[in-house]
Amino acid sequence: MELTGDTRGWLPTGAMRWWLLGAVAVVVAASTALLVVLSWGASHRAEDRLLPGTAVADVEVGGLTASAASDRVASQLAAQLTRTVALEHDGRTWTTSLDELGATTDLDEVIDTALARLDDASVLALAQARVGSEAAVHHLDVQISLPDDAVELLVAGIAAEIDRDAVDAELDWVDGGAEAQASETGERLDKVAARELAGDLLSRDGDDPVTASLPVEVVEPDVATATAQVAAEAATAAVHGALDRPVTLELDERRWETTPRELQADPDTGVVLDAALATVRAAETSLGNTDVTTAIDLDATVDDLAVPLDVDEETLTAFVASIAGEVDVPARNADVGWNGSRPAVTPAQTGRALDREAATAGLAETLDEHHRGPATVELSSYDISPTVTSAAFQQVVVLHQSRREVELWRGGEVVRSWPVAVGTGGSPTPTGSFSVGAKRFEPTWVNPAPDRWGEDMPERIGPGPDNPLGVRALNWNRMGGGDTLIRFHGTPNEASIGEAASNGCVRMFNSDVIELYDLVPSGTRILSLG
C-alpha cells in the first residue's frame, strides 16, 4: 500500500506507545480475571456449592455443597429441636421439646434459596465472594414451625392432670350427731397463660434446657369446712331438741309425760342437714366477710330448723294403750244371784274408756308441729253403757232342786210356783245361773243317748201323748251362750213329778209347762239351786 500525505500527526510518540501497551495489558488482565471468576462460578454451580460468605441459621456454610450445608445446619438445629422444655407445678414436671411436638423447618427451602444466589449473582458478586469480601457475606434464617394445635394439645393434656374441682364440705349424721366432712380446694390451670408460656419457652434460641412454673389458680370450695361445722352444730342441737321435747297428755287432773325420743321417733336427719347448711350459708352471705363461726346466732338458727319425725304407728298405739290401761273402767252388767231367801240383783255400772283414736291422732299431730317448746295433748274419754241392766231381772225363774219346786219371781215376789222332777244322782240337774234359750212348741224328741240310757228308745218321737218332752220345752242356755241340753219340759210320766227321776232335765206337768212357756220370754234368768 502506498501512503500519501503527511502521516506524522497520528503516529504515536514514545509515551503514547507505553500508554497503549499498558492499556492493552490491563484489558488482557481484566479479561483473564473475568474468565477466572466466571470459571470459578461455573465450577460452584456444577458442584451445587454455596457462595462463600453464606451463613444459614448462624452456621457458616459458604463453599459447602448444598447437601453438606444442609447436614451441618441440621446438626446445629437438632440441638434446639430436642432441647428439653420443662413445665413444673407442685412437685410434678411435664417435659417436651420442639421435636416431640412435631416441629418442622424450612431448611431445604433456605438451602435452595442460598443456591439460587449463585445463579443470580453478578460477576462483581462472584468476584466479591471469591475473594471473601465483606460485601459477599449473606445470612439466611431457618424458620421452625409447630403444628397449629401442638401447644394447645400440650396444655390441654397438662390441664387434664392438674385441674381438680374444689370439694365442698358436707354433713353426715354419725352416731347420733352431725359431722362435717372437710372441704378441699381445687386447682385450675390458666390455659391461656400456659399456652403463652410454653410458646415463649419453645421459641427461645439456644439448646440449653429451660424450666418454668405453670400458672395454676387455686379454686376455693363453695362450702368451707368452717361453714359446715357451724351447720353440723346447729343440726345436732335441733335434732336432739326435737327428740327431747316434753309432751304432756292431760285428762281431767291426770298427767302423762313423754318425749319423741321415748316414743322411738326417727328424725329425718337428711332434711335437717340440708336445711342447716342452707341456713348457715344464707347467713354467711348476709354477713359478708364476717366470720360466720362467731357472728351467726346459733340459737336462732336452731329454732328455725324443722325436724321431721317419723313415729311408728304401732308405737303410738301402744303408748296410748298404756294410758288407756290406767283410764279405762269396764262397764259392769247387772246380775242376779240368790241371797239365801230371794233373788238379789247386783246393779249395773257405767264404764269409762279413753278415746284412743283421738289420743293417737292428737299425739301424732303434736309430733309433726316441729316446735321446740313443751307441748300438751288434751285427751278425752267417753262412757260405756252396760248391756244388762237391773230391768233384765224383773222376772227370775228359781229352781229349788231339794224341794222339787220351780218358782217365778217378779218384782221381788213369788208370783207362781210349780212342782217338778229333777235329775237323778247319775244324771243330776246342773246348778248355777242359766238363761231361757229356745222355746219349743210341741217339740219333737230326738234321742240324745242312743248308746246309753236311750238305747231301747226310738231315734225320734214326734209331737203327741207319748213324746218324752210333753207339749212344750224351754231350753237352758249357758251364760256365755250355747245350749246345755237341759230343758224345762212337759212329760207323759206324771208320776215322776216330785222325784229325782230325769236324765238331768226338769219335768213338769204339761199344764204347768204350758203356763211357764206363756209367762217367761227367752233370755229370762234361771237360778238353779241344789
Which of these, 378, 229, 240, 252, lies nearest to 309 by C-alpha position?
240
- Grid coordinates standing for 440? 219349743
Segment 254-270, tens digit of pLDDT: 999 999 999 999 999 99
The distance of Cα 487 from the centroid of its chain, to the nearest Å, equals 73
- Measured distance CA(106)–CA(136) in Å, rounded: 23
Mark whether 164 and 275 lie in a shared domain: no
Amino acid in the structure at residue 529: L
161 part of a folded domain: yes
Mark whether 429 and 518 lie in a shared domain: yes
Are 88 and 213 in contact by the 8 Å Cβ rule? The answer is yes
Alpha-carbon distances of 252 from 141, 256, 380, rounded to whole Å = 108, 11, 9
- 365 CB burial (10 A radius; 0-12, 13-18, 19+): exposed
Does residue 501 sit in helix, strand or coil?
Answer: strand
- Measured distance CA(69)–CA(50) in Å, rounded: 8
DSSP string, 252-304: TTEEEEE-TTTTT-EE-HHHHHHHHHHHHHHHHHHHTTS-HHHHS-HHHHHHH
- Grid coordinates standing for 255? 298427767
- Measured distance CA(374)–CA(268) in Å, rounded: 21
- Grid coordinates standing for 356? 284412743
Which of these, 146, 149, 166, lies nearest to 157 by C-alpha position?
149
Are 410 and 519 in contact by the 8 Å Cβ rule? The answer is no
pLDDT at 126: 77
Mark whether 265 and 303 lie in a shared domain: yes
Mark whether 282 and 200 lie in a shared domain: no
Mark whether 216 and 272 lie in a shared domain: no
354 part of a folded domain: no
- The one catalytic residue in 44, 370, 400, 505 is 505
| Cβ neighbours for 443, distance < 8 A, ≥ 6 positions apart | 463, 467, 469, 472, 473, 489
Going by the DSSP 8-state scheme, the letter that residue 390 receives in this structure is G
pLDDT at 13: 60
Burial 187-215 (b: 16+ CB within 10 A, else e): bbbeeeebeebbeebbeeeeeeeeeeebb
Which of these, 103, 114, 129, lies nearest to 70 by C-alpha position?
114
Which of these, 300, 237, 307, lies nearest to 271 by C-alpha position?
307
pLDDT along the chain (530 residues), means of 10: 40 62 59 68 78 92 91 91 95 95 94 86 75 78 93 96 96 95 96 95 90 96 92 95 96 96 96 94 80 78 91 96 97 96 96 97 91 91 96 96 98 96 94 97 90 84 91 96 96 96 96 98 97
Mark whether 451 and 512 lie in a shared domain: yes
Maximum C-alpha span of the chain: 224
- Grid coordinates standing for 411? 218384782
Are 425 and 440 in contact by the 8 Å Cβ rule? The answer is no
Burial 155-172 (b: 16+ CB within 10 A, else e): beebbeebbeebbbbbbe
Domain count across the chain? 3
- Measured distance CA(210)–CA(121) in Å, rounded: 42
pLDDT at 374: 94
Q: What is the pTM of this model?
A: 0.62
User: For strand 309-310 and strand 266-267, is the pairing parallel, antiparallel, or unpaired?
Assistant: antiparallel
Instruction: Spell out the SS3 assignment of 133-149.
Output: CHHHCEEECCCEECCCC
- Grid coordinates standing for 317? 298405739
Amino acid in the structure at residue 258: T
Please give the residue range of the domain that contains residue 496: 394-529
Mark whether 415 and 427 lie in a shared domain: yes
β-sheet bridge partners, residue 400: 405, 529
pLDDT at 3: 34
CB atoms within 10 A of CB 23: 10
- Measured distance CA(269)–CA(309) in Å, rounded: 9
164 part of a folded domain: yes
181 part of a folded domain: yes
Going by the DSSP 8-state scheme, the letter that residue 47 receives in this structure is T
| Cβ neighbours for 185, distance < 8 A, ≥ 6 positions apart | 166, 218, 219, 220, 221
Are 171 and 232 in contact by the 8 Å Cβ rule? The answer is yes
Mark whether 232 and 217 lie in a shared domain: no
Phi and psi at residue 46, in whole multiples of 5°? -65, -35
Q: Is 31 left (phi over 0), alpha (psi -120 to 50) or beta?
A: alpha
Segment 307-347, tens digit of pLDDT: 999 999 999 999 999 999 999 999 999 999 999 999 999 99
pLDDT at 4: 38
Mark whether 211 and 236 lie in a shared domain: no
| Cβ neighbours for 425, distance < 8 A, ≥ 6 positions apart | 500
Mark whether 423 and 497 lie in a shared domain: yes
Are 502 and 430 in contact by the 8 Å Cβ rule? The answer is no
43 part of a folded domain: no
400 is catalytic: no
339 part of a folded domain: no
Mark whether 430 and 499 lie in a shared domain: yes
What CATH number does the domain containing 398 carry? 2.40.440.10
Mark whether 417 and 520 lie in a shared domain: yes
337 part of a folded domain: no
Does residue 18 sit in helix, strand or coil?
Answer: helix
pLDDT at 10: 47
Instruction: Spell out the SS3 assignment of 421-437.
Output: EEECCCCCCCCEEEEEE
89 is catalytic: no
38 part of a folded domain: no
